[in-house]
A and B are shown apart, each in its own frame.
Chain A
Amino acid sequence: MKQILHIFAKDARRFWPEILVSLAVTAAFVRFYPNQWRGTEAVALGAGVGAVAGGISHFLANALIVLIPVSWWLLISRVIHGERLIGHTQFWLTRPYEWKKLFAAKMLFLLTFLYLPLFIAQCLLLATAGFHPLAYLPGLLYNLLLITGIFVLPLVALSSVTSSFAKMTLVLLGAALLVAGIAALTTYLPSHTTGSVASPVGDRLSFVIVFCGCGAVVVLQYALRKTLRSWLVLIAIPVLLCTLAIGDPDQALMNRTYPSPASNVTAPVQLQYVPDQMQHVFTDETRDSNELDINIPLRVFGVADGSLVIPEAVKVAIDAPDGSHWDSPWQAINNQRLLSTTSDSNVRFRVARAAYDKYKSMSVALHLTFALTLTKAEATTQVPLPASDFSVPNFGVCTPQSSWLDFPGEFTSINCKAALRQPKLTYVNILWSHSRCFGPQFEPPTRTLGEAWTGSFDNDPAEFGITSVWQIPLYFSNNWEDRRQGSVPGPRRICVGSPITFTQYSVIGRTQFDLILQDFHLPDLAIGDQYLLRMK
């Protein structure tokens, strides 16, 4: 322990400028980041100096989010390179340094000057936002674990296989160029799959690969200083990640995650394609010339009151009369939520252009298999909208937002803050006022409903982030009135005191749902400006 503290003290004395920079950036982050929470309000509240100051404050808060990891990059590089691990001429190689103690001293340094300030900053941000930090201790520690795996360990690993900050920077730039190059290259490659589903398993495995890989590099370097071997491990990490991305374990696990329903179980939703009554069946070009998008409108019914059915993904199979067959992998469906009140929806999926060309003139059987997440309303909170901050249990702290055109007590949106992660999937609704909330033009709120969805089903105690406070802006539907009688089009408003309802949903199951469309003709391809118009 004595040697650990001795090396630590030496590093603290030597790298005080880097420590100071890192602490200053973190302190500035704590000071200015909360301005972001009221940023839109500050900018909107007035013209001139106030707006400029608000804009600068907003910019500064965003810049600090970037500057903090940059200051860590400098700090980590300097402290690891202080006793660099590659080379044969370092003074410490022939001194009584024990590698475990050297390693521990470096980790103690990072713990003291990186983790501790960040932890304190995150606690202060939580407190500033109205959350009690101690209530979120597991989340705070979990976030530090994520930061370790995503930022700190890779930077420590890179520092341990390079000899200086400049060389490490070059390696980082090279890695960034490589990633950009691969990304650019993949856009020119024919897509191997039209599949893309949420990948919780893949993401966790990727995290484990990066965490263990970088950890192994660091320990290998400190224990053995076999740089070539460490580089091989380091190179194996992106190779494994690419292999994982190509292998896509979440595709393989879809049938297990979303099992087929038992025959005697009532389906949680009914989806129906009624071609005669419905519009907007079309096929679109995509950015990938080898694939096409097909959009099919669907009628929805059968969702129980208080339930929410979320189509997460769809798998498509085409059976032709000639016996030929084409099927797709699972494809993600975004932002579809089916409530008991939902009557219409649609499904959009991709098919290979070759399959489309082959089957477009045939009458085929289209087999759509949906992966459905079944949820149930768990808790509902309804409050009259206050004029200032209000707390919503298990959700966060919300602030009504007004624009510079609004009178006091009139709002156009609501900005919420959540601790460490997005809240559970939540449905929020308000009642819009068609007129001003006060004065001679005031009318009581109408039944025009403003709706917003936010949150996720992720169960982790925290999501990766430098900040511990997540901003949840709620932009409600129907916020613009364009046919007001005797008036110009304008924004609708939420009046203080009007009810706002938060309904949180929790997952009760996952299942598959099959929809078979017999004698289906693949819709014609929208061409030229039809496509462009739709894009606009």
Chain B
Amino acid sequence: MNPAIATHSLRKQFGRTVAVDGLNLAVPEGAIYAMVGANGAGKTTIIKMLMNIYPPTAGSAAVLGIDSRKLAGKAFTRIGYVSENQEMPDWMTAGAMLDYYRPFYPTWDRALEQQLVRQFDLPLDRKLKHLSRGMKMKAAFASLLAYRPSLIVLDEPFSGLDPLVRDALIEGLIERAPETTIFLSSHDLAEIETFSSHVGYLEQGRLLFSEEMTVLADRFREVMVTLDSPSPLPENLPPTWLQPQAADCVFRFVHSSFNEQSSPRELAERFPTARDISFDPMPLRSIFLAVAKSGRSRPSTQQGRHSAKGNAA
């Protein structure tokens, strides 16, 4: 199956600033892929390159099999794009905007449009410039979900929205998820954790990892080793053990390549005098924090490893 989005050594440079560096990414069809990272990590730049708003400095990207540099016109009948800083035809009413967009899309579903209007409680007779940010975002969502795009690209779509609006939008998205691929960026882990199937982590223009959420959750464990007596931080730890800490008789670290079968045995061999070894699953937020903090201290090691993961995804 061809990936909905594939990039190869994608790079974007603004003057001397490298915004995206050597991005290799594959987003499978049907995935809900969340690209996360701090503000300024390069998420928006990647999306703008994918949407042919920015030309890449080097490398290439393909969106629904089309070279991103050639993405224009009819190709956008299969792609829906919403960005937090995207302008809207503010002089139109919400209803006029839907009326205006409708003829552009051969697949526009009028019944679905009406359903979305009801679902989002859209005031069709009000001008977009008079709508709240949440309502505007609902109008934008309605205007892209109504034509059942094969790919939905969202750039920080929930940023600054109240929880009710956010939930309504996520619900609207999830309902259409089976028939589409969704690629979204966010700096808020909590908002994407509940519904994303894949996740990529971007830091300073580099993709630190990219994989399925379930694999990621299985791979990371917070490990706590309780020893007989106080002990210093062991030396020559594997690079997959992140954020190692030793305090009194307790040694903690984040295991980034945990395996249910082999890892307990390996740890028991490594710490033969351990009184107890616990392996706790980690929430996404803790995983990212661990990766982010470790990534900053060992960026090159992480990049090499996670780029490969990105390709594998």
Binding site for B on A (CB under 8 A): 2-3, 6, 10, 14, 88-91, 93-99
Contacts and interface: CB of A to CB of B under 8 A. Distances in A.
Nearest to A88: B53
Nearest to B106: A96
Contact of B51 (A10, A93, A97): A93
B88 interface: yes
A96 B77 CA distance: 6
A424 B169 CA distance: 73
B271 interface: no
A34 B107 CA distance: 56
Contact of B81 (A3, A10, A94, A98): A94
- Name which of B73, B83, B103 has the most chain A CB atoms within 10 A of its CB: B73
Nearest to B97: A91
A89 B87 contact: yes
A99 B101 CA distance: 16
Given A96-B104, A98-B74, 4 more contacts: A10-B100, A94-B79, A97-B104, A98-B73
A2 B103 contact: yes
B83 to A, nearest CB: 7
Contacts of A98: 72-74
Given A89-B86, A99-B72, A94 B51 contact: yes
B91 A14 contact: yes
Interface string B21-53: 000000000000000000000000000100101
Contacts of B105: 96
B188 to A, nearest CB: 21
A100 to B, nearest CB: 9
Contacts of B89: 91
B253 interface: no
Contact of A90 (B79, B87, B100): B87
16 contacts: A88-B53, A89-B87, A91-B86, A91-B89, A93-B53, A94-B53, A94-B76, A94-B79, A94-B86, A95-B101, A95-B104, A96-B73, A96-B75, A96-B76, A98-B72, A98-B73
A97 B81 CA distance: 14
B197 to A, nearest CB: 24
B54 A97 contact: no
A88 B81 CA distance: 13
A427 to B, nearest CB: 60
A180 B79 CA distance: 50
B17 interface: no
Interface string B95-118: 000001101110000000000000
Size category of the B interface is 20 to 34
B46 to A, nearest CB: 14
B236 interface: no
A89 B103 CA distance: 22
Contacts of B103: 2-3, 6
Contacts of B86: 89, 91, 94
B74 to A, nearest CB: 6
Contacts of A95: 76, 101, 104
Contact of A97 (B73, B85, B87): B73
A99 B75 CA distance: 13
Interface string B49-66: 001011000000000000
Interface in B230-268: none
Contacts of B72: 97-99
Contacts of B75: 96
A99 B54 contact: no
Contacts of B91: 14
Given A10-B100, A96-B104, A88 B48 contact: yes
A323 B88 CA distance: 78
B2 to A, nearest CB: 21
A279 to B, nearest CB: 73
B73 A89 contact: no
Contacts of B77: 96
B154 to A, nearest CB: 12
B104 A91 contact: no
A40 B19 CA distance: 69
Across chains A and B, which 4 residue pairs bring their CB atoms closest together, nearest first?
A98-B73, A94-B81, A96-B76, A96-B104
A98 B101 CA distance: 14
A98 B81 CA distance: 17
A14 B53 CA distance: 26
A213 to B, nearest CB: 25
Contacts of A97: 72-73, 76, 104
B142 to A, nearest CB: 14
A96 B87 CA distance: 16
B74 A96 contact: yes
Contacts of A94: 51, 53, 76, 79, 81, 86
Nearest to A94: B81
A3 B48 CA distance: 25
A509 to B, nearest CB: 58
Contacts of A6: 100, 103-104
Contacts of B100: 6, 10
Contacts of A91: 86-89
A514 B51 CA distance: 71
Nearest to A7: B100
Given A96-B105, A99-B73, A89 B85 contact: yes
A430 B184 CA distance: 86
A94 B155 CA distance: 13
